[in-house]
Amino acid sequence: MSPVGAARDEHGSAAPFAVGAIGLLLFIGAALGVVGAVFVAHRTAQSAADLAALAGADALQLSGDACAAAARITVRNGATLESCEIAGEDVTVIVRVGGPRWLGQTGDPVAEARAGPSEPRPD
């Protein structure tokens, strides 16, 4: 066989490799996109929980309804208030945010926050 004939036999052998490499890159890109979306959803949940706890603690200090204030702030931040507990002058909230769904993932990001005075008030 001549060198020209050998080159013709290998013609197109890079195509399966290229298709596989492109498929792998697309899969990795999609996975990184989902990881980024989960990260953003978790940060959103934590921010909503922090703000809701602060609003609840503020309302409690002003003799208001702490859990109602926390619920309002939670909704404004695109989250759902799962629970609100008052212990003395502290308000603890648990917040849930709808997360991305990929490959059957069913869990949503949940965050908890507590707020209250740094020192007890003198009576």
Query: pTM for the full model?
Result: 0.73
Domain segments of the chain as ranges:
17-115
**Contact yes or no for 66/82 (Cβ under 8 A):** no
Whether the per-residue pLDDT at 7 is higher than 60: the answer is: no
116 closest CA partner among 45, 64, 73, 53: 53
pLDDT at 2 over 80: no
Residue range 78-105: average pLDDT? Answer: 88
Q: How many CB atoms lie within 10 A of CB 24?
A: 10
pLDDT digits (tens, 9 = 90+) for 38-84: 899 899 999 999 999 999 999 998 888 999 999 999 999 999 999 99
Task: Give the residue from 41, 103, 117, 51 showing the smallest Cα distance to 81.
Answer: 51
